[in-house]
Homo-oligomer: A and B are copies of this chain.
Amino acid sequence: MAPPKVPETARRGYIVPVGGAEKKDEEAFILRRFVEMCGGPEGRIAVIPTASELEDTGTRYEGLFLELGAGQAQSLDYRRRTDTDDPERLKWLRNATGIFLTGGNQLRITTILGGTRVARAIRSANARGVSVGGTSAGAAVLSEHMVAFGESGATPVAGRVTLAPGLGLTNRVVIDQHFRQRDRIGRLLAALALNPFAVGVGLDEDTAAFIDADDVLRVRGSGAVTVIDANGLEHSSMGSAEGGQVICMTGLRLHILPRGGTFDLRNRIAKPPPGTLD
């Protein structure tokens, strides 16, 4: 899906991909910030645990968001496509002031929610100003082009990454998570090699990119965000590479941004953290 149209009087809500394994104790800076921006004590956060096959993922985040100060939190447990017609859950979703997608398998989200009213409700909520976050699988699915799966390793290899259409809240980035922990720069590069127009965003665990309505990305959390900008790509062998061959790419720009660092996705400008962090 193309990014949803933002009504003229509204500003798009934040898009908040989290790299997985975000802290959930007193150092839960990422989730706490998310709760704040969703209205804190006035906030109503919808949790979508569809990516997970575990029974308690949704209720766990429900409790967590309440502990962190959200006024209300509700797990909307969509487990099959027919669930998406349920009017009560749709009503909750449409009245939410924040939406959070848990981890698991991103293909569960797209296959269960893709093309349904739930996907449309998430998109239109974000366009109206509601912040939408997700961790791990829930992060990958936020963008138009999503890394569905792929192999680990530092070098990009042809045919070793699979893209799928995501929820499409933004088309400026391709997101990968557990980035340093699972050695994924190769697969993110391979994804960009397929079409270098997007910006690659690799999120370490317990690290998030808060992307505002002007498409400026700000890093929060304990790790780093790796930004790969293929805009200046001079040469790529992807057009002639056979499966299993290393992809040759020249002219890429790379930024490693710790918390407080920013990247302007429209103008492709990276800035280090200012003097004071967080």
Q: In the complex, A149→B158 CA distance in Å?
A: 11
Q: Tell me if A9 is interfacial: C-beta within 8 Å of chain B.
A: no
The answer to whether A166 touches B195 (Cβ under 8 A) is: yes
What residues of B have a CB within 8 angstroms of the CB of A115 in the complex? 195-198, 230-231, 233
Q: Are B164 and A107 in contact (CB under 8 A)?
A: no
Shortest distance between the CB of A23 and any CB in chain B (Å): 28
Instruction: From B108, B119, B166, B194, give the contact of A107 (CB < 8 A).
Output: B194
Which residues of chain B are near A231, meaning CB under 8 Å? 115
Q: Is A26 an interface residue (CB 8 A)?
A: no
Contact in complex: A108, B240 (CB < 8 Å): yes
State whether B108 touches A164 (Cβ < 8 A).
no
A110 interface residue, CB < 8 Å from B? yes
Which B-chain residue is minimally distant from A193 (CB atoms)?
A: B111
**Is the C-beta of A267 less than 8 angstroms from some C-beta in chain B?**
no
A35 to nearest B CB, angstroms?
28
Within 8 A of B (CB), among A183-207: 193-198
Known A3-B2, A115-B230; contact A162-B159, beta-carbon cutoff 8 A: yes
The smallest beta-carbon distance between A28 and chain B, in angstroms, is: 28
A130-150 vs B, Cβ < 8 Å mask (1 yes, 0 no)? 000000000000001100110
A163 at interface, CB cutoff 8 A: yes
Size of interface on A: residues with Cβ below 8 Å to B: 44
Residues in B with CB closer than 8 Å to A149 are 159
Q: Are B239 and A148 in contact (CB under 8 A)?
A: no
Question: A119 to B238, Cβ gap below 8 A?
Answer: no
Q: Complex formed: what's the CA distance from A191 to B156 in Å? A: 22
Chain B residues with CB below 8 A from A235, complex form: 80-81
| A195 to B: closest C-beta gap in Å | 4
Q: Is A105 positioned at the interface, with any CB of B under 8 Å from its CB?
A: yes
A231 to B117, CA, bound (A): 11
Given contacts A81-B236, A105-B239, A236-B81, contact A164 B195 (CB under 8 A): yes
What are 25 residue pairs bridging A and B, where the CB atoms are less than 8 Å apart in the complex? A1-B171, A2-B2, A2-B144, A2-B168, A2-B171, A53-B240, A80-B235, A81-B235, A81-B236, A107-B194, A108-B239, A108-B240, A110-B194, A110-B196, A110-B239, A111-B236, A114-B196, A115-B196, A115-B197, A115-B198, A145-B145, A162-B194, A163-B165, A164-B194, A165-B198
A interface residues with partner B (beta carbon < 8 Å): 1-3, 53, 80-82, 105, 107-112, 114-115, 119, 144-145, 148-149, 159, 162-166, 168, 171, 193-198, 230-231, 233-236, 238-240
